[in-house]
Every structure is written in C-alpha cells, then in structure tokens.
Structure 1
C-alpha cells in the first residue's frame, strides 16, 4: 500500500474495470485455443486400448485435454459482481494453484510415457509392442509443441529484458539515484 499526500492508503496496482482485450477477440482466442484440448480428448477416446506398448498414452491425452478444457472454461466465469475490481478469493487462488500443479505433474508423467517408447516401431496390432501411429504421433507432437512454446516464450522474455537493459544504459534519464556529470 502506498500513501498519497493526504495520507490515504491506496493499493500500488489498481485493478482495471474492463479487460484490455475486446470480448469478441477474447472469445475467438478461447475457441481457437480449445481446439487442441478437444482434439486430444477425441483422439484419446478413439484410440483407448490401442497402445499395449504404453497403455497410459490414451489416458494422458484424455485427462490432459479434459483438464485444459476445464481450465479454459473456468476463465469464462465472471470473477466479480462488476461493482469493484474482479479479484479471486484466496480459496479460489489456492484451488487454481493446486489445479495447475496437477497439470504440471500430469505433463511430466506424459513426458515419461511418450518419450519412453521413442522411436515408435510400427508393428502388428496384435503384438504387445504395438501402438497406434496416430495416437503416438499426436501425443508426441503435443508434448513437443509445449516445449517449443516454452522455449519461444523464454526467448521473447530474454529479448525484452535485453532491450530494457540496453535502453537503460543508453538513456540518461533512466539512471535513478546517480549524479549527473
């Protein structure tokens, strides 16, 4: 909390009344983003029991897709009554943290299940080392795309930090607390 001239305490970061993103764009983004979890659910359900080499692979897609879709749907719920800035209650934040921790653990387990049978040997469907090609390739690329996305986000963040540091060194008015020569 910060105090102004009159001694009134105000929060350092004020909540915004409206989202900076237009509601139509937000809705379209959620529809586009929901395509991958829906595809995961469909492929996991279609190929249930068709990967004896790694029987948990369809469940990885089913549970992961369902959890991501649920998380996406929960972002559509209003967080407040519109009279004050929308804040999640501490209990809701705790449950969201537990849910995200579960998703992280499920992703790590899926990594073990997907990459432990790499490279996939295409065999006879009756063999114990068989795994449906589409099921495996979809799970493999979904998992790999998560790593590509994380790497791209890290690269963008490092570029932003580098640009900010470069700007700070080049612009004299950004040097706080230093004496001017």
Structure 2
C-alpha cells in the first residue's frame, strides 16, 4: 500500500522546522555563561527553542487519521494563543538582548564586552531570519492579494454582483 502523504508531509515539515529550535537549545546550553556582555543571550536561545519545540509538539495533538482536520477544543486554542503570545514577548526581549550589544567583543574573554562569537552570531541570525521570513511572507501575501484583485477585475463571472465574492 502507498504511504498516506496527507499525514506524512505535515509531520516531515515539522521535523524539518524543528531543526532550528534544536540547534538553538544546543548552542544556548553549550555556551551558557559565555556572554558577560549580555548574560541572558543563551537563555534567549534555550527558552525560545524549547518553547517552539513544545508548540510544534502540541500542534501535532490531537492527531487524526489524516482524513479530516482535527478540531481543537476552546481550551487547546487558548493554550496555543498563550504560547504564541509568550513567543512574541520573548522574541521582543531577545531583540533587545541581541541588537543592543552589537558588536560585542569576540577575542578577549576577560573583557566585560565579551560574547562568544558563535553564540552571538547564531542568536543574531536567528533573530534576523525571523524578520526575513516575516518580510517574505508579507510580500507573498501581497502578491497573492494582487493576483486575486487582478483576476477579479479580468474575469467576468467574478463580477456578477449577485452576492458572491
């Protein structure tokens, strides 16, 4: 029998997406205490990566058989909203912690402005990539909206005016 791609593609997508949070957890844990300039930077990676992984895990629940999309209870939707709110607040705090110390000292660990290069650059690029992803998503949404507006103007059956969008 052929594999059910309706179930395996979302799972594969979540496995691929979980690589960055796992890397964040590993780098945050390895370099704990190695950024005197901003001692919260490793915690930014640890907590952010852990929260994203937990969110991805909880988004798999309730799992169905793949035929119908699973329905979330109001309580589950509330928890999901709280997770997203926490991630948003944590991301804003991380922006302050990352961008406020740019550029740190990479060479001398005894300098109070020192931050381990791998730790800082990873946190910097993870934070910056979130902005790049949001920008790409915004441009894609605007492009799709533009295409829909063009189609609506060009296709006569979409201009009926009989209550249909």
Is it true that 1:51 corresponds to 2:35 in the alignment?
Answer: yes
Give TM-score, length-normalised by structure 2.
0.89
SS at 2:114 equivalent: coil
Of structures 1 and 2, the larger Rg is shown by: 1
Deviations 1:27-52 (A, max 9, x none): 22111111100000000000000000
Q: How many pairs were matched up?
A: 159
CA distance in 2, matches of 1:81, 1:175: 40
Spell out the pairing of 1:18-37 with structure 2 (5 A cutoff). Answer: 22-37=6-21
Determine the structure 2 residue equivalent to 1:127: 111
Determine the structure 2 residue equivalent to 1:76: 60
CA distance in 2, matches of 1:83, 1:97: 25
Contiguous gaps of at least 5 residues in structure 1? 1-19
SS at 2:51 equivalent: helix
Is it true that 1:153 corresponds to 2:117 in the alignment?
Answer: no
Higher relative contact order (CA 8 A, sep 6+): 2
Contiguous gaps of at least 5 residues in structure 2? none
The structure in which a higher percent of residues are helix is 2
Aligned-pair RMSD on alpha carbons?
A: 2.1
Give TM-score, length-normalised by structure 1.
0.81
SS at 1:127 equivalent: coil
Determine the structure 2 residue equivalent to 1:97: 81
